[in-house]
């Protein structure tokens, strides 16, 4: 049937190749906590990553076996998945990952690119961007806009010591901007 609703993106691959690709992306996501890929791959990997973290939150033998079937290197990543990531997302009801669109990586194909990242982690891009906006508002001596206030609430809601961590990062960025000579463009070290 033409134009019908499809249950998932086929990604121009056979079933086995598609599953291997998604497992590889999710394994890299658990290992690195942020990956840069094409937008359709990121959206499909996001579905699998959300299910994997839900399995980690259950923390029973069945969930461990299913998670072992998804990860390519379970002996390396199972302690992180059922330890650090489980503790991080225990209070969060859902939405463990975020897909953010970016400029195309390849200038020839112009494929839509995206960053798939775990939220509330050390590489959380929205947290870093919100801290940079807070630092800029401080430097300019003005109050936060409604959007900035909403982003502050979002990034600190489920993070342990979220407000303190945001303030620490904002003051670090603010001090970097004060130390830099005017007119120079410094590479932000807080994203490294």
Q: Give pLDDT, residue 170.
A: 92
pLDDT, tens digit, 9 for 90 and up, residues 135-148: 999 889 999 999 99
* pLDDT confidence tier of residue 12, bands split at 50, 70 and 90: confident
What pLDDT does 29 receive?
96
* Number of helices and strands in the chain (H, E): 8, 3
What is the CA angle 176-180-182, rounded to 5? 135
pLDDT exceeds 60 at position 133: yes
Contact (Cβ atoms closer than 8 angstroms) between residue 96 and residue 89: yes
Which pLDDT tens digit goes with each residue over 63-90?
A: 999 999 999 999 999 999 999 999 999 9
Give the DSSP letter of residue 59. Answer: -
- 3-state class (DSSP) for residue 102: strand
Q: Per residue in 99-114, pLDDT tens?
A: 999 998 878 888 899 9
Question: How far is the C-alpha of 42 from the C-alpha of 35, rounded, in Å?
Answer: 9
Distance of alpha carbon 49 from alpha carbon 27, whole angstroms: 9
Strand order, beta sheet including 113-118: 34-38, 113-118, 97-102
CATH number, span 15-118: 3.90.1030.10
Q: Does this model's pTM top 0.85?
A: no
Task: List Cβ neighbours of 133 (8 Å cut-off, separation of 6 or more).
Answer: 144, 148, 151
CB-based burial label for 62 (10 Å; 0-12, 13-18, 19+) = exposed
Q: Mean pLDDT over residues 112-127, rounded?
A: 92
The pLDDT of residue 70: 94
Q: How far apart are CA 161 and CA 70, in angstroms?
A: 32
Distance CA 99, CA 119 (A): 10
Give the residue extent of every domain in the chain.
15-118, 125-182
CB 156 within 8 A of CB 174: no
Which sign does the torsion angle of CA 38, 100, 94, 87 carry? positive
What CA–CA distance (Å, rounded) separates 86 from 58? Answer: 9
């Amino acid at each position: 049937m033409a134009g019908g609703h499809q249950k998932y993106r086929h990604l121009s691959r056979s079933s086995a190749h598609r599953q291997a690709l998604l497992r590889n992306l999710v394994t890299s996501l658990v290992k690195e906590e942020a990956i840069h890929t094409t937008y359709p791959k990121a959206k499909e990997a996001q579905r699998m990553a959300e299910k994997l973290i839900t399995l980690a939150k259950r923390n029973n033998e069945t969930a461990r076996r299913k998670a072992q079937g998804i990860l390519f290197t379970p002996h390396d990543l199972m302690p992180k998945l059922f330890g650090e990531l489980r503790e991080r997302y225990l209070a969060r009801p859902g939405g463990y990952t975020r897909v953010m669109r970016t400029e195309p990586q390849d200038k020839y194909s112009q494929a839509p690119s995206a960053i798939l990242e775990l939220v509330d982690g050390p590489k959380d891009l929205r947290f870093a961007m919100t801290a940079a906006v807070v630092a800029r508002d401080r430097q300019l001596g003005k109050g936060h806009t409604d959007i900035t206030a909403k982003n502050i609430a979002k990034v600190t809601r489920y993070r342990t010591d979220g407000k303190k961590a945001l303030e620490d990062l904002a003051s670090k960025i603010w001090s970097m901007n004060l130390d830099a000579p005017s007119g120079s463009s410094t590479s932000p070290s807080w994203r490294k």
